[in-house]
Amino acid sequence: MNLNITVVQKDLVWEDKRANLDGLGKMISGCRDKMEVVLLPEMFNTGFSMKPTELAETMDGDAVRWMKQIAAEKKIILSGSLMIKENDKFYNRLIWMLPTGDYGHYDKRHLFAYAGEDAHYTSGHKRLIASVKGWRLNLQVCYDLRFPVWARQASENEDHVEYDALVYVANWPDKRVHAWRTLLQARAIENQCYVIGVNRVGDDGSGNHYPGSSMIVDAMGSPVYTASDKEEIFTYTLNIDDVKQVRSRLPFLKDADHFKITV
């Protein structure tokens, strides 16, 4: 079965929530592709800011309501991360919004201490593997990409894998873009799945430039789409038979080490 994945690569306006929601809404509304799952960058309404006390919203806030509205109007699943305040804590939370208004969420596990993210946000402890049209998608955020155990297929053989595609929504700067591209391909090879990396473009208020380079990588680790350094919205059709053929022809997952993650 096929699944259409739409990646929205946006030049985010620094800490301007209204401008970002308006801009993202226009890009989605202007897309003429058949959209099913639409992916936004990390902290899509603010950029990668360390000001959650000023900018974070609750799950009843404007950004989540906006996600519900867009998902319902376009009849799509909409996903991306934003700052959320809950029980007096702040999270970099990825939301998986269904057109019905139901949703799941994943709180970023690996906080980017190099930029002080760990001093402002609380780490998550549970993965989110979402299901759609028979596909299973493992949803993660930016810095998680550097930690392969958190993404690793934990099943004992290739017939009972946990997921078919791995998603990273990110604000990944150009100075480390080689690592971005390399690690996306590595995660695909070792987990025998599609990997989708969604990055932003433009400059933020901390002096970082973001190169885009959003990518879709197949289960052999080959990029099937790489975006350039500009705003772009594109749709790619994932084919589950391609994943199954790789796993059947190269049954490496059954030889993997057994492990248990403790948090």
Domain presence at residue 10: yes
Summarize the confidence of residues 118-141 as an average pLDDT.
97
Average pLDDT over residues 191-202: 98
Range of the domain at 107: 2-255
Beta strands in 71-164 (DSSP E): 77-86, 89-97, 103-107, 128-132, 135-141
**34 catalytic, yes or no?**
no
Could you tell me if residue 230 is inside a domain? yes
Q: Report yes or no on 78 lying in a domain.
A: yes
- 104-118, 195-209, 247-261, range with the lowest pLDDT: 247-261
25 phi, psi to nearest 5 deg: -60, -40
260 in a domain, yes or no? no
- The amino acid occupying position 18 is R
Q: Identify the active-site residue in 42, 57, 117, 158.
A: 42
Closest CA to 122 of 85, 147, 94: 85
Token pair listed for 70: 């867009």
pLDDT, tens digit, 9 for 90 and up, residues 150-196: 999 976 555 668 999 999 999 999 999 999 999 999 999 999 999 99
Q: How far apart, in Å, do the first and last CA atoms of the chain sit?
A: 35
The confidence score (pLDDT) of residue 176 equals 97
Does residue 84 have a pLDDT over 70? yes
In this prediction the pTM is 0.97
**What CATH number corresponds to the domain at position 15?**
3.60.110.10
Q: Is residue 27 part of a domain?
A: yes
31 flagged as catalytic: no
Instruction: Inform me whether the pLDDT recorded for 5 exceeds 60.
Output: yes
Whether residue 262 is contained in a domain is answered as no
Q: Is the pLDDT of residue 258 over 60?
A: yes
Look at residue 254 in the predicted model and tell me its pLDDT.
87
Number of domains in the chain: 1
Is 142 a residue of the active site? yes
Q: Which of 36, 68, 117, 142 is catalytic?
A: 142
Express each pLDDT in 34-80 by its tens digit.
999 999 999 999 999 999 999 999 999 999 999 999 999 999 999 99
30, part of any domain: yes
Q: Does residue 145 fall inside a structural domain? A: yes
Helix H or strand E segment including 120: helix 117-120
* Averaged pLDDT, 125-145: 97
Give pLDDT, residue 104: 98
Choose, from 10, 17, 68, 108, the residue flagged as catalytic.
108
